[in-house]
Structure 1
Amino acid sequence: MKLLRSDGQGFCLYYKVLGGGHFPWLARGDGAVRLTLAQLTMLWEGIDWRRPDWGAPPARVG
């Protein structure tokens, strides 16, 4: 995955290779997908947004 971002003075290129070899996203004919910031974050971390595993619930205090 390549992400190009403008910071106002230039561009930053972020690059990430997936271990599984594919994205867990619905395919579109033109290849363009609109993402929310939360979806982009999950994609970047390799989390399947359709079935996120949030881990154990927070411990109860008191």
Structure 2
Amino acid sequence: MIALPSSTRIFLACGTTDMRKGFDGLAVLVQQVLETSPHCGALFAFRGKRGDLVKLLWYDGQGLCLYSKRMDRGRFIWPTTKTGKVSLTSAQLSMLLEGIDWRRPERTTEPLLAG
């Protein structure tokens, strides 16, 4: 994934999205459903019904960028609510794109014991 500016806000569009939509269709969803301008510099993430495809829409200052990722195995973890948006950190977005449950990340290492 490309490096986003640290000030970039990240939003997930809750529920499912018709993944046939491209730049214009997703930009309209941002305006009408998320009630935000697609040109505000935030990154917007959308997931399809099957859960194996995600699209990211982001305005980089010159134009809209559209990225997509399809999982070979597994699904992207998504909020269960049907309306609205959820805000994420860049670390949570990275976990989401790797197929990790970003809502309950767990460390895989044991803490060091003093002794």
What TM-score, normalized to structure 2? 0.40
Residue 11 of structure 2 corresponds to which residue in structure 1?
Answer: none
Residue 12 of structure 1 corresponds to which residue in structure 2?
Answer: 65
Letter in 1 for 2:97: W
- Where structure 2 has 5 or more consecutive residues not aligned to the other structure, the ranges are 1-53, 111-115
1:31 to partner: Cα distance: 5.5
RMSD: 2.2
Q: 8 Å contact 2:57–2:64 — kept in the other structure?
A: yes
> Which is bigger in relative contact order (C-alpha 8 A, separation at least 6)?
2
Does residue 45 of structure 1 match 2:90?
no
Counting aligned pairs with the same residue, the percent is: 53
- Where structure 1 has 5 or more consecutive residues not aligned to the other structure, the ranges are 58-62
Matched position secondary structure for 2:86: coil
* Pairing partner for 1:24 from 67, 77, 88: 77
Letter in 1 for 2:60: D
- How many aligned positions are there? 55
Matched position secondary structure for 1:39: helix
2:95 and 2:69 map into 1 onto residues whose CA distance is 13
Stretches of 4+ aligned residues off by more than 6 angstroms: none
1:52 to partner: Cα distance: 4.0
2:60 and 2:99 map into 1 onto residues whose CA distance is 24
Residue 55 of structure 2 corresponds to which residue in structure 1?
Answer: 2
Residue 33 of structure 1 corresponds to which residue in structure 2?
Answer: 86
1:37 to partner: Cα distance: 1.0
